[in-house]
Amino acid sequence: MSIYDVTIIGGGPAGLAAGIYASRAALKTVLIEKGMPGGLAASTEMIENYPGFAGGIGGPELMMQMDAQARGFGLEIQNANAGSINENDVDFTIITDDGEIKTKTIILATGAQSRKLGIPGEAQFHGRGVSYCATCDGAFFKDREVAVVGGGDAAVEEALYLTKFASRVHIIHRRDELRATKILQQRAKANERIVFHWSSTVEEISGEQTVKEILLKDIVTGQTKTLPVDGVFAYIGTRPVSELVSGLIQLDQKGYIITDDDMRTSKPGIFAAGDIRQKLLRQVVTAVADGAIAAVAAEKYLEQESEFRSQ
């Protein structure tokens, strides 16, 4: 079995950036991705704050370009799911559903997933009116009413996107003001198709074959009411996809990986990049920077290990 210099787990912006830098440094590199490359960024209709694109760029387009660039430098991409990591004396073995991969270093770029609402009806109607991706499913709700749960950037961005299809978009937010950036707030409040439900939570999702209504609760008065909608889009934050390394490296209380400024984790030879890290800002631009740093740090680690063994 051949051994890789670097194995990247996760094909979002951080993973692809790490792949570009590691492959360009002539390191034998493989990226493992269980789905389509691009991560959450690939499901974002428009990215307006990535430097170099004055008019913005579509998330899928940006990720496709990163993917092509990485492959152009020789990055190998395997479509598989990493199930576990075994630590050996001088390297690691990653067990996937497509076989084993031996590697000298690992860059974890598994990212984060949308948090679930955790309410009755959510699981039952997932894929039948409940969604976590407006870009993926928005077109199914042409001329219908939908609800967006959340008040941050992602929630407001996706609510604005949904107004292209839906006749009305209800933003349900547990606070009395949005957390999104001011420019997004202004756009949302100026859009006639968006209706706000302040200080409210969704208590239940119900319907027959598909979603028909939600139960709203006013957290100030405690009163409840039903709201007829055909779709529910949840954007209440994300959770780290760190189960793979739980018990192997140090995580914070929320499950995010703790690293230093060079993306090194508590385990020598394992690095982390992107949304999986404990960090202030989770954006494409910071994920790309993390990936580049992690790849260079892995390269330095390999050089030091090689010098140590040659002594």
The per-residue pLDDT for 133 is 87
Say if 3-113+238-310 and 116-234 have the same CATH topology.
Answer: yes
Average pLDDT score over residue span 31-55: 88
For 290-310, how does the pLDDT look when each residue is reduced to its tens digit (9 = 90+)? 999 999 999 999 999 877 766
CA neighbours within 13 Å on the CB side: how many for 170?
A: 22
- Delimit the domains of the chain by residue range: 3-113+238-310, 116-234
Confidence of residue 311 (pLDDT cuts 50, 70, 90): low
Cβ-contact 207, 87 below 8 angstroms: no
Q: How far is CA 194 from CA 9, 62, 167, 239, 269, in A?
A: 39, 28, 9, 27, 49
The per-residue pLDDT for 310 is 67
Q: How far is CA 135 from CA 89, 138, 161, 311, in A?
A: 45, 6, 8, 55
Average pLDDT score over residue span 61-89: 95
The Cα 215–Cα 185 span in angstroms is: 25
| pTM of structure | 0.84
pLDDT above 70 (res 45): yes
For 100-146, how does the pLDDT look when each residue is reduced to its tens digit (9 = 90+)? 999 999 999 999 988 999 999 999 999 999 999 888 889 999 999 99
Average pLDDT score over residue span 262-276: 97
The Cα 154–Cα 132 span in angstroms is: 10
Catalytic residues: 133, 136-137
Q: How many CB atoms lie within 10 A of CB 214?
A: 27
- 171 backbone dihedrals φ, ψ, rounded to 5°: -95, 120
For 208-267, how does the pLDDT look when each residue is reduced to its tens digit (9 = 90+)? 999 999 999 999 999 999 999 999 999 998 899 999 999 999 999 999 999 999 999 999
Q: Does domain 116-234 have CATH number 2.30.30.90?
A: no
Cβ-contact 270, 276 below 8 angstroms: no
Q: Does domain 3-113+238-310 have CATH number 3.40.50.300?
A: no
